[in-house]
Structure 1
Amino acid sequence: MNSNVLVAHSTDVEKAEFYKKTYLHVAISLLAFIGVETVLLNVVPPEIIGLMFAQKYTWLLVIGVFWLASFLAQKWSLSQSKAAQYMGLGFYILLEAIIFLPLIYIAVAQTGGGDVIFQAATLTIAMFAGISAVAFTSKRDFSFLRSIIVMGGFIALGLIVAGMIFGINLGLWFSVGMVLLASITILYQTSKLKDSYATDQYVGAALQLFSSIMLLFWYILRILMSRRS
C-alpha cells in the first residue's frame, strides 16, 4: 500500500483500512482516557484538584498551557515517524485527562457515583455514531461548515476567557451551543477525513476525532450536572 497517497485518491481497500485503523485508534484513545482518568482520581489529592478550579487565573493558565500543548500534540500526530505520532496521541490523552480531572471529580461528588458520567458518555457515543453515519452516507459537501466552526470557536474561546476573568457563569445555553459546535465539528471532520489525510496518517485523524468527542462529552456532562444541581 502506498502510504503517501491521500485517502481520497486511494483504492477502496486502502480507504477501508484507513477508516478501520482510524476508528480503532479512537476507541483505544477513549479506553486509555478512562484508564488515565481513573488513575488520576485515585492518586491526585483532592486539595490539588481543588486548586485547578479554585482560582480563576490558575485555571486560565491551565487552559493556555493545554492549547499550546495540544498544538504540539497535533504536530507530532501527523509526523512521518510512527513513534512521534503515537507520542502525540498519548500526550494529548494525558492532557485531556488532566483537564477533565476537576469536572469528573465534581460529577462523582455531586451524584455520589458515576451515573451521570455514564449517561453523558452514552449520549456522547450515540451522538458521535449518528453524526458519523450522516457524514458517511450523505453525498453533501460539508466544506461550508469550516467557517462556522472557526468563527464559533473564537467566540466560544472569548466567552470562556471573559467568564474566567470576570467570574461570569456562562450558563446552560452556552453548554447547549458548545454541544452544537462540537457536533458540527465532528460532522465536518468526518466528511473531510478522506481529503485531509494520507493513508498512513490514521493516528492524526484519530486524534482530531478524539478531541471533538471529548469536547462534546465535556458539555453534555455539564448539562446533565446542571440538571441535578
Structure 2
Amino acid sequence: MEHIRTAHTAVSDSTEVSRVLRNTYMLLSMTLAFSALTAGIAMAVNMPHGAGLIMSLVAIGLVWFVLPRTANSSAGLVVVFAFTGLIGASLGPMLNYYLATANGTSIVLQALGGTAFTFLGLSGYTLMSRKDFSFLRGFVVMGVMVMLGGMLLLMGAALFGYQVEMLSLAFSAGVIVLMSAIILYQTSAIIHGGERNYIMATTSLYLAIINIFTSLLHLLGASDD
C-alpha cells in the first residue's frame, strides 16, 4: 500500500511539474509577443525617453507591490500583461535610439539573437540534464542586491555628470551573468517542484530575458562605437 501511495504521489508531482512548465512557457511566449507589440507602438509614435522611464517605474511598482498579492488568482494574469506591456513600451525609445545609428539594425538583431541563444541554450540544458541549480539561490539573491546598488551608483554618477563608461559596460556584463544564473535557477525550480506558481515563474524568466537583451544592446552598441 505504501508503494502504491508513493507511486501515486510521484505521478501527481510529475503532472504538476508538467502543468507549471507548460503554462510558464505559454505565458512567457504571450507576454514577449505583447511586449513586442507595445514596443512597436511606442517606436511608431516616437515616444520620448521620459515617458519610457515613467512606464518602467510603474512596471516596477506593479511587479513589486501588486503581483505578489495577485499571483495566485486570475487577476495576476492581468497584472503580468500590464507589467510586460509597460516594459515593452518603455523599450521603444531605446530601440529607436539604436536603430537611428549607422549599424543600428544589425546591433538590435544581434542582441535579439544573442538573447534567444542564451535563453534557449540555458533552459534546454536544464530541462535535458534535469540538474538541480538550487545552489545558485544565494548567488542570485546577492547578485540582485549588487545589481540594484550598481544601478543606483550609475544613476548617481550620470546625475552629477561623471563619465563611467567602463563601469557601465562591466555592469552590463555582470547583469548578463546574473540573468543567466536566474534562468538556470528558475527553470530548475520548476522541474524539481520548487516553483508551483507559473505566473511568478514567468515574471522571473521574462525579466531575465529583457535584462539580457538590454545589456547586450549596450555592449554591442559600445563595441560598435
On whether the aligned pair clears a TM of 0.5, the verdict is yes
Preserved CA contact (<8 Å) 1:76 1:88: no
CA shift in 2, pair 1:76/1:92, >3 Å: farther
C-alpha distance after superposition, 1:160-208 (max 9, x if no partner): 111111223333222111111110111001101243433xx32332222
CA 1:10–1:85: 2 relative to 1, 3 Å: farther
Quote the Cα distance in structure 2 between the aligned partners of 1:76 and 1:94: 19
Matched, 1:67 2:71: no
Structure 2 residue aligned with 1:178: 175
User: Is the 8 Å Cα contact of residues 70 and 92 (structure 1) preserved in structure 2?
Assistant: yes
Structure 2 counterpart of 1:43, one-letter code: V
Counterpart of 2:4 in structure 1 is none
- Give the aligned partner of residue 121 of structure 1: 112
Question: Once structures 1 and 2 are overlaid, which stretch shifts more, 116-125 or 66-75?
Answer: 66-75
- Contact kept in structure 2, 1:104 and 1:117, CA below 8 Å: yes
Match of 1:204 among 197, 200, 205: 200
- For 2:194 and 2:146, the matched residues in 1 are separated by 25
Report if the CA contact (8 A) 1:143-1:188 is conserved: yes
1:189 paired residue number: 186
User: In structure 2, what is the Cα distance between the partners aligned to 1:112 and 1:137?
Assistant: 37
1:27 to 22, 26, 29: 29
Q: Which has the higher contact order (CA 8 A, sep 6+)?
A: 1
Change (3 A) 1:139 1:35: closer
- What corresponds to 1:12 in structure 2? 14
Please tell me whether the aligned partners of residues 185 and 212 of structure 1 are also in contact (alpha carbons under 8 angstroms): yes
Instruction: Say if 1:73 and 1:111 are closer, same or farther in 2 by CA, change over 3 A.
Output: farther
- Structure 1 CA distance, aligned partners of 2:45 and 2:10? 45
Contact 2:127 2:187 (C-alpha < 8 Å) held by counterparts? yes
- 1:77–1:226 Cα change, 3 Å: farther
CA contact (8 A) 1:131 1:187 kept: yes
Q: Displacement, 1:214? A: 0.8
1:19-49 deviation digits (Å, cap 9, x = unpaired):
222112111111111111000111244xx32
How far is the alpha carbon of 1:11 from its aligned partner? Answer: 4.5
1:164 corresponding residue in structure 2: 155
Q: Which amino acid aligns with 1:26?
A: L
Q: Name structure 2 gaps, 5 residues minimum.
A: 1-8, 159-163
For residue 219 of structure 1, the aligned residue among 197, 204, 215 is: 215
Number of positions where the alignment pairs a residue of Structure 1 with one of Structure 2: 210
Greater shift after overlay, 68-77 or 17-26?
68-77
When the two structures are superposed, what TM-score results if normalisation uses the length of structure 1?
0.79
